[in-house]
Amino acid sequence: MADQTFKLPDLGEGLTEAQLVAWRVEEGAHVEVNAPLADVETAKAVVVIPSPWAGTIQKLHARPGETVAVGDALVTIAAEGAAASVEPRLAESDDAAPRTLVGYGPGAPEAGVRRRARVAPAAVSGGDDVRAAPFVRQLAREKGVDLSQVTGSGPGGRITRADVEAATSPAGAAPAAPTPSTDGERRISVVGIRKAIARQMVRSVSTIPQFTEFAIFDASALMAARERQKSGGRSMTPLPYFIEALIKAVRAYPLMNSSWDESHDEIVVKQHINVGIAVNTNQGLLVPVLRDADQFDLSTIAERSAHLIGGARAGTLKPGDMTGGTITVTNVGASGPVETGTPIINPPECCVVGFGAIKPRPMVVDGQVVARPGAWISISVDHRIVDGALATEFLTALVRELETIRA
Amino acid sequence: MADVAAVVETDDPVRRLFSADGELSPGARSGLGLHPEALRDLYRKMLLIRRADQEALNLQRQGELGLWGPYQGQEAIHVGVVAALRPDDWIFPSYREFGMGVCRGIDPAQMLTIFRGLTHGAWDPRKYHFAPLVIPVASQVPHAVGFAMGSRFKHSDDVVLTTFGDGATSKGDWHEAMNFAGVFRAPVIFLCQNNHWAISVPLAKQTAGSIAERAQGYGFPGIRIDGNDVLGVLAAVRAAAERARRGQGPYLIEAMTYRLGPHTTSDDPTRYRQQAELEKWSHKDPIPRYRAWLHDQEILDDAALDAINKDVESTVEGMRNRLRATTPPPAGEVIFGRVYDRAPEPFNEERQEFEASLEGN
Amino acid sequence: MTEPVTMAKAINQSLHDALARDESVLIFGEDVGTLGGVFRITDGLQKAFGDDRVFDTPLAESAIIGIAIGLAVRGFKPVPEIQFDGFIYPAFDQIVSHVAKYRNRTGISMPITIRVPFGGHIGAVEHHSESPEAYFTHTAGLKVVAPATPADAYALLQSAINDPDPVVFFEPKSRYYLKETIDPTIEVPIGKARVAREGTGVTVIAYGPTVGVALDAAKAAEKENISLEVIDLRTLSPLDMHGILESVRKTHRAIVVHEAPVFGGLGAEIAARISDEGFDFLEAPVARVGGMDAPYPPARYEKLYLPDVDRILEEADVALAYG
């Protein structure tokens, strides 16, 4: 003898409960297999439940009129003979045993746990707002490029494969061999740095309303300082002086060191001044970045900028050396007759400063025309951030800094 | 028109066995040539499949089967059909032909695993010449015709029987298959178990005309017979099969019967049919009727009856016990195992992935 | 064969060779016997093999497929023809409920090849230009094939008839009269795509009638220095994801082109599988070019509805603009 509890089965394809209409047995009564136990009414029909076992009724678990859920106990029977030994194999908890369909209905879900632990999802990285296609992200991972430091040249600032490649290899890829001419034209496949420059420039002129102002400054103080350095045994190009003057002017006009956030219509003013230095190389124009330039003295600026320029030309810079600029300087007319030009902003920066060649120029000093070393400066600025008056103030401040360099 | 008329022979070998109202004539009954043991076996089989049906109903109420479709009242057809055919004549059943399968020798406990949710098909049809149960109504009928066309192409003398209910005769597949059978003179017997109800829709709402007479429109004969007379069913199917074996083409038998139980265990027939109708048909129950005839013929005495009862009860108990002891086959095999003969690689990969996901549980 | 033959002739030859090689092969359907089929695909076969092997049936698609099942159980290899794509729907229940599932129910294989001319571009009336392939690729138990060239049509039909499982064999009507030299000894297995044209910029995945359009697009793109790789799927189920991913790994971009409506079409499955299994290769979302979510239009409007070179190139431009 073993007590077996019969649970209400799903009596008709997806039922969840039944109402007990009447018992046909009493507690203590003896029943045979298939003897009628109870009448129950489901949503579909009134049916008779036959006893699954022979034995003595131990307990009736519901009263007439009560609703019994599928899978809930209906009757407990002290089962006799074979049933007593067969039935434990049918216990629901034993997955290996043939399962009865008791408790199978939709109201009785399987245990609410995962069948198997899935591979843990990769940790979600911080909301960097970087826009890049899956392959570009994969490429950046492989090449060790930090995408948050790469300026995207694609639509909406999306970082492209070319951007990553440009950030990876300062030397860039050589332009493909020109396609042979077929009909009086020659097509040159554009890849690598040329492609990156093209996209960056298109982005600049198509998204940034920019204007340019020009000035000439008196480089006498700068040249004197250079002479002094030279006599001290250290030769220095004018570039470090430009950068140092620029940093001072920017400190006075921090808006020049900012960017326009298109998605929020906000101006983002940068704390650090990272000066991009446009370098003409065999591969095309590269812009290595002198990070935290505002933290350095003149000689450090000289040393580091020389290193960056050399690296750019040699193709030995690391990807991180080319990203994260906040303002850019460029050389316009370093040789030849060209005096100045209109530089194009390097997005998403606000300002680009072009320095011309220092050469003797006629200048009016104390009412007299005299020859003094001088050069053109041009600044292009983002008109969304900066108006003409402010640009003029800034350019004036920059000229003042350059003209008051102390030897 | 003359060509078509010629197909329907005036001397119909089935019709001449029956009275106008579909009863087997006394002469035909005594001329069946069945040995008393064979006659008793028909009774034993009817009783066995009735008890198996009742037991399956109980097993459903006890949660051992998900669903059951009882055939109580239609046993004469189940038994008569199988007795009339050669073992190598294929049968293409609908879904209520559990009894026919048992008569063809399939283990009833094995057949029930379909309703226990363990398989969609529990036997190899080629072993029993018994096609799978088919649930979409009438869709098995063209299969039978195609098989029979194949028998003709192979110049084999086996015939095919397909069975369906009255509701199936409303389906396009039924008409298309009847038409093909006529055109190709396929050796196939269409056996309609007209049990008067297609779930809740009565015969009068199913069709406005005679089912049996439709055969003529397809170029072969049809007959309506008493489907609750096992010997009548046997005689009709045997004569139609012999005719088909002779190359005379298809035959439609409309066997009038009644589904005494619900459509399935999910059904409540009290919602659509009258108790009086049920009582009327209970009086025509094929089992007591045949038992009385056997008794009158002094073929079945009390001792033989007792022996049959004991044999049947023990078989049914065995069915119950074997069903409950069935070990469910592995999930990967059930879900993926028989879909393809030459399984595509992506399919095998999905199976492997699934089976790997079950490991360790 | 040394002379180029049309796809129609290649299929005819393939059926002929199957009938000659294997006497369990049967061909039947509407008008396939005496007439030789409305596209003359079965021309001469009844004469050559007799009307027990190649026969006309009554006009009833469900029964055509239904008897194929019975014949398969009886040991035959039925090759029924459905006359037009738009007439396959009456047979849908037999195909989905039984052709695809009979083996799962019984263990009995269903070596049935259902031939269906499909697709548009032939200026036909309603129901004669449909692309119902996704209904069948969505059905487990079926294999679905769609050749694009005469040589593939010959070889894939051989593979389909020899396959022990059911195959729905879609023949692109618009390419029936395309000519090519075929070599009957070359086997093309079910489940393998081919690269119809190599390229580097964007992968264009096509099958059946759209392979030609994709190749035309690739030619036009070349003039603009855009390089398209064209994949001819050949088999729609099972999908050759290995072949597809190999190409996408190279180009990082993919466009799926079919005549069937884009919504819920096979292209959706391919796009999902590429993003699932090839996410890291992608530089652009997978694009789909296909029919509109509208019934197939009257013939004078079909060119507006069907994928064309411009629509493929537009999607290529969008994909390339991602960088």
Confidence at residue A151, expressed as pLDDT on a 0 to 100 scale:
83
How many residues are there in chain B? 361
Catalytic one of B214, B224, B263, B320: B263
Confidence at residue B115, expressed as pLDDT on a 0 to 100 scale:
96
Chain A residues touching residue B262 (CB < 8 angstroms): 45
| Residue C1 clears pLDDT 80, i.e. is over it | no
Asked if A140 is an interface residue toward chain C (Cβ–Cβ < 8 A), one would say no
User: Helices A161-168 & A192-207, crossing angle to 10 degrees?
Assistant: 120
Confidence at residue A152, expressed as pLDDT on a 0 to 100 scale:
83
Residue contact B325–A86, C-beta within 8 A: yes
H or E element that contains A79: strand A73-79
CB B156 within 8 A of CB C74: no
Q: Which region holds residue C158: left if phi is over 0, alpha if psi is between -120 and 50, else beta?
A: alpha
CB B115 within 8 A of CB A104: no
Q: Return the number of other C-beta atoms located less than 10 Å from residue B106's C-beta.
A: 19
Name the minimum distance, in Å, from the CA of B115 to any CA of chain C. Answer: 13
B310-315 long-range contacts (CB < 8 A, ≥24 apart) are B311/B44, B312/B44, B312/B47, B312/B48, B312/B51, B313/B51, B315/B48, B315/B52, B315/B108
Report residue A4's pLDDT band, with 50, 70 and 90 as the boundaries: very high
Confidence at residue A96, expressed as pLDDT on a 0 to 100 scale:
40
> Beta partners for A289?
A276
- Which of A121-135, B66-80, C7-21, C22-36 is least confident? A121-135
Chains that touch A (3 or more CB pairs under 8 A): B, C
Residue contact A161–C281, C-beta within 8 A: no
Mean pLDDT, chain C, rounded, equals 96
Alpha carbon A43 to chain centroid, angstroms: 55
> Beta partners for A267?
A260
Report residue A147's pLDDT band, with 50, 70 and 90 as the boundaries: confident
Confidence at residue A190, expressed as pLDDT on a 0 to 100 scale:
63
Taking the CA atoms of B332, B335, B338 and B340 in sequence, report the sign of the dihedral they define: negative
Residue contact B145–C164, C-beta within 8 A: no
Express each pLDDT in A49-84 by its tens digit: 999 999 999 999 999 999 999 999 999 999 987 554
User: Helices A134-143 & A161-168, crossing angle to 10 degrees?
Assistant: 10
How many residue pairs bridge chain B and chain C with CB atoms within 8 Å of each other? 136
Phi, psi (5° rounding) for residue A402?
A: -70, -35
Strands across the sheet with C54-56, in order? C54-56, C25-29, C77-81, C113-118, C167-172, C143-145, C235-237
Confidence at residue C315, expressed as pLDDT on a 0 to 100 scale:
95
Using CA atoms, how far apart are residues B4 and A174, in angstroms rounded to an integer? 85
Confidence at residue A178, expressed as pLDDT on a 0 to 100 scale:
43
Q: What angle do CA A309, A310, A313 make, to 5 degrees?
A: 85
Residue with tokens 């109201």: A107
Please name the residues in contact with B313: beta carbons below 8 A apart, sequence gap of 6 or more. B51
CB B222 within 8 A of CB B198: no
Taking the CA atoms of A118, A119, A123 and A124 in sequence, report the sign of the dihedral they define: negative
Using CA atoms, how far apart are residues A342 and C208, in angstroms rounded to an integer? 56
Distances (CA, A) of A359 to A218, A223, A363, A403, C144: 10, 10, 12, 15, 79
Using CA atoms, how far apart are residues C170 and C153, in angstroms rounded to an integer? 10
Residue contact B142–C67, C-beta within 8 A: yes
The DSSP string of C4-28 is -EEHHHHHHHHHHHHHHH-TTEEEE
Residue C257, SS3 per DSSP? strand
Residue A264 among the catalytic residues: no
Catalytic one of C16, C98, C121, C128: C128
Greatest alpha-carbon pair distance for chain B in Å reads 73
Name the minimum distance, in Å, from the CA of B208 to any CA of chain C. Answer: 24
Exposure string of A71-107, with b = 16+ CB inside 10 Å and e = fewer, is bbebbbbbbbeebbeebeebeeeeeebbbbbbbbbee
Name the minimum distance, in Å, from the CA of C207 to any CA of chain B. Answer: 19
Q: Which two tokens stand for residue C172?
A: 């692109």
| Residue A87 clears pLDDT 70, i.e. is over it | no
Alpha carbon A50 to chain centroid, angstroms: 66
Using CA atoms, how far apart are residues A334 and A280, in angstroms rounded to an integer? 11
| Residue C178 clears pLDDT 70, i.e. is over it | yes
Mean pLDDT, chain A, rounded, equals 82
This prediction has a pTM of: 0.76
Amino acid identity, position C81? E
Residue contact B321–A86, C-beta within 8 A: yes
* Three-class HEC string of chain B: CHHHHHHCCCCCCCHHHECCCCCECHHHHHCCCCCHHHHHHHHHHHHHHHHHHHHHHHHHHCCCCCCCCCCCCCHHHHHHHHHHCCCCCEEECCCCCHHHHHHCCCCHHHHHCCCCCCCCCCCCHHHHCECCCCCCCCCCHHHHHHHHHHHHHCCCCCCEEEEEECHHHHCHHHHHHHHHHHHHCCCEEEEEEECCEECCEEHHHHCCCCCCCHHHHCCCCEEEEECCCHHHHHHHHHHHHHHHHCCCCCEEEEEECCCCCCCCCCCCHHHCCCHHHHHHHHCCCHHHHHHHHHHHCCCCCHHHHHHHHHHHHHHHHHHHHHHHCCCCCCHHHHHHCCCCCCCCHHHHHHHHHHHHHHCCC
Residue with tokens 């970045």: A289
Using CA atoms, how far apart are residues B73 and B334, in angstroms rounded to an integer? 34
Report residue C291's pLDDT band, with 50, 70 and 90 as the boundaries: very high
Name the minimum distance, in Å, from the CA of B335 to any CA of chain C. Answer: 9
Report residue C101's pLDDT band, with 50, 70 and 90 as the boundaries: very high
* Three-class HEC string of C273-302: HHHHHCHHHCCCCCEEEEECCCCCCCHHHH
Using CA atoms, how far apart are residues A181 and A192, in angstroms rounded to an integer? 22
Using CA atoms, how far apart are residues A161 and A132, in angstroms rounded to an integer? 9
Asked if C68 is an interface residue toward chain B (Cβ–Cβ < 8 A), one would say yes
Q: What angle do CA C202, C208, C214 make, to 5 degrees?
A: 30
Residue contact C104–B121, C-beta within 8 A: yes
**Side-chain half-sphere CA neighbours of C38 within 13 A:** 12
Taking the CA atoms of A79, A85, A87 and A92 in sequence, report the sign of the dihedral they define: positive
**Top-confidence range, A189-193, A197-201, C129-133:** C129-133
Confidence at residue A95, expressed as pLDDT on a 0 to 100 scale:
44
Using CA atoms, how far apart are residues A198 and A191, in angstroms rounded to an integer? 10
Q: Which two tokens stand for residue C139?
A: 């059905």
The C-alpha torsion from B242 through B243 and B249 to B250, rounded to 10°, is -70
Confidence at residue A401, expressed as pLDDT on a 0 to 100 scale:
93
Q: Which residue has the higher pLDDT, B106 or A148?
A: B106
Asked if B136 is an interface residue toward chain C (Cβ–Cβ < 8 A), one would say yes
| Residue A393 clears pLDDT 70, i.e. is over it | yes
Q: What is the mean pLDDT of residues A79-90?
A: 54
Alpha carbon C239 to chain centroid, angstroms: 12
Confidence at residue A165, expressed as pLDDT on a 0 to 100 scale:
86
Of A24, A7, A138, residue with least CA distance to A75: A7
Q: Which two tokens stand for residue B147?
A: 């098989």
Asked if A154 is an interface residue toward chain C (Cβ–Cβ < 8 A), one would say yes
Residue contact C322–A158, C-beta within 8 A: yes
Per-residue tens of pLDDT for chain B, all 361 residues: 444 444 456 679 999 999 999 999 999 999 999 999 999 999 999 999 999 999 999 999 999 999 999 999 999 999 999 999 999 999 999 999 999 999 999 999 999 999 999 999 999 999 999 999 999 999 999 999 999 999 999 999 999 999 999 999 999 999 999 999 999 999 999 999 999 999 999 999 999 999 999 999 999 999 999 999 999 999 999 999 999 999 999 999 999 999 999 999 989 999 999 999 999 999 999 999 999 999 999 999 999 999 999 999 999 999 999 999 999 999 999 999 999 999 999 999 999 999 999 875 5
- Which of A256-260, A316-320, A323-327, C291-295 is least confident? A316-320
Q: Does residue C238 have a cis peptide bond before it, meaning omega lies within 30 degrees of 0?
A: yes
Q: What is the mean pLDDT of residues A16-41?
A: 93
CB C58 within 8 A of CB C6: no
- The ipTM estimated for the assembled molecules is 0.95
